[in-house]
Homo-oligomer: A and B are copies of this chain.
Amino acid sequence: MTSAKDALPKVLERIDSDLDRSLERLFAFLRLQSVSTDPAYADQCKAAADFVAKDLESLGLDAKVRPTSGHPVVVAKPRNGAAGNGPRVLFYGHYDVQPVDPLDLWKSPPFEPRIEQLPDGRKIIVARGACDDKGQLMTFVEACRAFKAVTGSLPLPTTVMIEGEEECGSKSLFPFVAEHADEFKLDMALVCDTGMWNATTPTVTTSLRGLVYEEVTVTCADRDLHSGLFGGAALNPIRVLNRILSAIHDENGHITIPGFYDGVPELPADIKADLAALKLTPEEFLGQVGLKTPAGEKDRMLIEQISTRPTCDVNGIVGGYVGEGAKTVIPSQATAKVSFRLVGDQNPERIRDAFRKFVRDRLPADCKVEFRNHACSAALQLPYDLPALVKARNALQEEWGNKAVTVGAGGSIPIVGDFKRLLGMDTIMVGFALDDDRVHSPNEKYDLTSFHKGTRSWARILAALAE
């Protein structure tokens, strides 16, 4: 039996020669209108699940469309137990897509995929799901297909799990994974749902920031008051909230809640040097949205502020009169939504409690406060020296010619946390999305290069992991 590494050159050739047919398969997948949030598309979601199962069967896997309380999950496992040696991997992706509204902003119908050439010469695949996540997950599937064609089997014992509710919170997947934990407790997980640093710099996402999201409502008087009559004497809940929320950050952008930074790791020097070498400038990152000056911790690089450091933001605030014109009211209540992005080992429950204490400690005597928690999840951090991570970075560098960077993602892929906490598996997140892919927006696209070199990248990563 040829080793995966020995077979790799032929596998890469096969990927190149099979590109047109792999695009045909992707386009067939993209034509399925698998919008998970809208019950009207339930049949199309089922059709997409069937499509994926059939395709995974063709890789020699034992694929089943398995019911959940919502849209089904496709699970494909090695026939006859472990096929081949090497680590048992679980590849995760999702066949569902975001809704297409507003439809009139699409230049062509969202479920009629097409190739377009941009003025700068780049070819792009345009369709809903072209990137998120159909195009991305097919880079992995096509890499497997090339191995199967060249060597007769997959290079690793591979389980594939493709769900249909990622765009609406994966709410059926959590209990499904918990219930069938034994099936999915493998050696590591692989995910292709993240992005590249830029079009030429391959990237492994090694951390996902956690999230604590609190809604805080301050009540002063038991009714709205007239500011002419009560102004000057009655406590104003907007002013109370303003004062407390503005105390969360100090002049240097640090968060002042006691204990907030407990569990925040310092970066290893080499990783910090790598990040610095990216030379992310405010012009480049903030310029795109009309800003110039990083607003975070003053003693941190911009790239740290957005990826490896914890943050706090007020995501919403409302109180009093907010209609047209003027009303001289002192409201009874004001509400704010406050969220924290967590990193490292920050404990979300402890931070939620510390925030609540911070607010209560600053509350004037005449106030009541109520809290509602909307999210309380810890950060995920891959050890930088994890062997699989090192292998993936090297494989990516071979394909792209540039050193692969490791970044922290601000957003989250809900199930990845459960892979770690419930199944004890680390997840290698490699993706080929670009910042201009218009994910979740009209005219979503995926660069043809992302698709093609993404497939080649997975072939290299699988070969490296099989060593």
Contact = CB atoms under 8 A, between A and B. Distances in A.
Interface residues on A, range: 35 or more
Contacts of A320: 314-317, 337
Contact of A226 (B225, B329, B410): B410
Interface string A216-260: 000011110111111111111011011101100100000000000
B226 A328 contact: no
Interface in A304-359: 305-306, 309, 311, 313-322, 325-331, 334-337, 339, 341
A276 B294 CA distance: 53
A239 B315 CA distance: 9
Contact of A234 (B220, B225, B229, B289): B289
A294 B328 CA distance: 19
B236 A374 contact: no
A4 to B, nearest CB: 35
Contacts of A232: 295-297, 305-306, 309, 311, 341
Contacts of A411: 226, 228-229
A125 B241 CA distance: 43
B231 A242 contact: no
A365 interface: yes
Given A228-B341, A313-B236, A326-B374, A289 B223 contact: yes
A268 interface: no
A295 B366 contact: yes
A292 interface: yes
Dominant secondary structure of chain A at its interface with chain B: mixed
A291 interface: yes
Q: How many copies does the complex hold?
A: 2
Contact of A235 (B222, B241, B246, B293): B293
A294 B233 contact: yes
Interface string A275-298: 000000000011001111111110
Contact of A236 (B295, B318, B326): B295
A302 interface: yes
Contacts of A238: 245, 314-317, 336
A220 B230 CA distance: 34
Given A230-B306, A309-B232, A316-B238, A326 B213 contact: yes
B305 A329 contact: no
A286 B229 CA distance: 11
A293 B367 CA distance: 10
Contact of A233 (B225, B286, B317, B321): B286
B410 A231 contact: yes
Nearest to A228: B410
Nearest to A289: B221
A253 B63 CA distance: 69
Nearest to A336: B238
A339 B326 contact: yes
A414 to B, nearest CB: 13
Nearest to A248: B239
A295 B234 contact: yes
Contact of A322 (B306, B311, B318, B331): B318
A375 interface: yes
Contacts of A325: 374
Given A295-B366, A339-B326, A231 B313 contact: yes
A409 interface: yes
Contact of A291 (B220, B228, B229, B341): B220
The 3 closest A-B pairs by CB, nearest first: A228-B410, A222-B290, A316-B320
Given A291-B366, A327-B337, 15 more contacts: A213-B326, A227-B341, A228-B341, A229-B306, A230-B306, A232-B305, A232-B306, A233-B294, A234-B295, A236-B314, A242-B317, A313-B328, A316-B319, A320-B337, A326-B339
Interface of A: 209, 211, 213, 215, 220-223, 225-236, 238-239, 241-243, 245-246, 249, 285-286, 289-297, 302, 305-306, 309, 311, 313-322, 325-331, 334-337, 339, 341, 364-366, 374-375, 409-412
